[in-house]
Structure formats: structure tokens, C-alpha cells
Amino acid sequence: MDRPNAIAPDELVQRHARPGMSLVALLHAIQDDVGFVPPDTVAPLARTMNLSRAEVHGVITYYHHFRQAPAAPVTVQLCRAEACRSMGTEALAQHIEARTGCRFDAHKHDAHNHDHDHACDGAVGLESVYCLGQCALSPAMMINGELHAKVTPQKFDALLAAAMKRVEETV
């Protein structure tokens, strides 16, 4: 993906690197800044941390939290763990897929095949997560990092519409 205002990878790494900082902490700082860990930062990260590129790549890909591409403008993270399952999160997931035309975790399965899902235009990303700590108020989800509990299909539709509207307003 093009990053018109992207800063150079070296500069991005140097902006956040601090003495004694762990690689995981540095990756967090980069992702918190630009929304993902750009693949071209692997080489400068390796140099800065005195690690091999393979080790850096290994850490980035080990953790679910780190993204190697920007998140969709509206990113829905639905809890699929036991407590939410007991309150119908799987039915909610089906509703969400039908409503958005997107599939959960498509970014993982189709990393090299972005455009075969015609109904899903890239505006919405659906991700499964496992526990948001709201197990007494299931099902729970985050939309662009904002937490919502006791989500029903109707509530989701309203939240999605609001999130889409906010995205349109900022473009």
C-alpha cells in the first residue's frame, strides 16, 4: 500500500528507540505511531537492536497484535472466546459478515489475495480476538479501539453506521 506521507524507515526506528528498550516495546511504539509495523523497518530494527532480520521478523509475526499492513479504516474486533460464545457471539459474527460482506480474519488467510472478496471493499476489517475482559457483559467487541459490551445485531448496526460516518467525515 502507498504511504504518501510515510517517513523513512530508519527515521521511524530512531524516533522511538531508547536505550535498554526491548524489541517488543519498540514495535509497540512504532505501531502506536503509524498504525502498523512497516516491513521496511525490519532491517533498521535489526541493526538498532543488534539482532538478525530473521529474529526481528520472528517477533513481529509471532504476536497477533502487530500488523504488517495498515488496519482497515473501520476495524471490528469481535471476541470469539467461551464467555462470548455462551451469549451468541457466533451468531453475531454471522450477522456481521452478512451485514458487511466481509469475512473474519481474511487479512490472515488472504494476505496475497486482497481483491477476491468483491463485497468487501477494504473499508471494513473483521478480526477475531480472544477475550476483552468483559465476560460478564458478553458479547464484547472493539471498533477502532473503542470497547462495546452487550452487543446485539441491532446495536452493532448502529455502531457500524456511526463508525463509517466518522471515517467519511475525516476523509
Contacting positions for other proteins (CB under 8 A): 21-28, 49, 58-59, 62-66, 79, 81-87, 129-138, 140, 145, 147-150
Q: Locate 153 and state its grid cell.
A: 445485531
Please say which residue, 23 or 123, places its beta carbon nearer to other proteins.
23
158 sits in which H/E element: helix 153-170
Please say which residue, 80 or 102, places its beta carbon nearer to other proteins.
80
- Least separation in angstroms between CB 156 and other proteins: 13
Provide the β-strand partners of residue 143. 76, 146
Q: Locate 51 and state its grid cell.
A: 539482532
- Least separation in angstroms between CB 54 and other proteins: 11
- Least separation in angstroms between CB 118 and other proteins: 28
Q: Locate 50 and state its grid cell.
A: 543488534
Please say which residue, 55 or 123, places its beta carbon nearer to other proteins.
55
Please say which residue, 66 or 71, places its beta carbon nearer to other proteins.
66
- Least separation in angstroms between CB 5 and other proteins: 25
Q: Locate 24 and state its grid cell.
A: 517488543
For 70-108, b where at least 16 C-beta lie within 10 A, e where not — what string?
A: ebbbbbbbbbbbebbeebbbeebbebbbeebebbbebbe
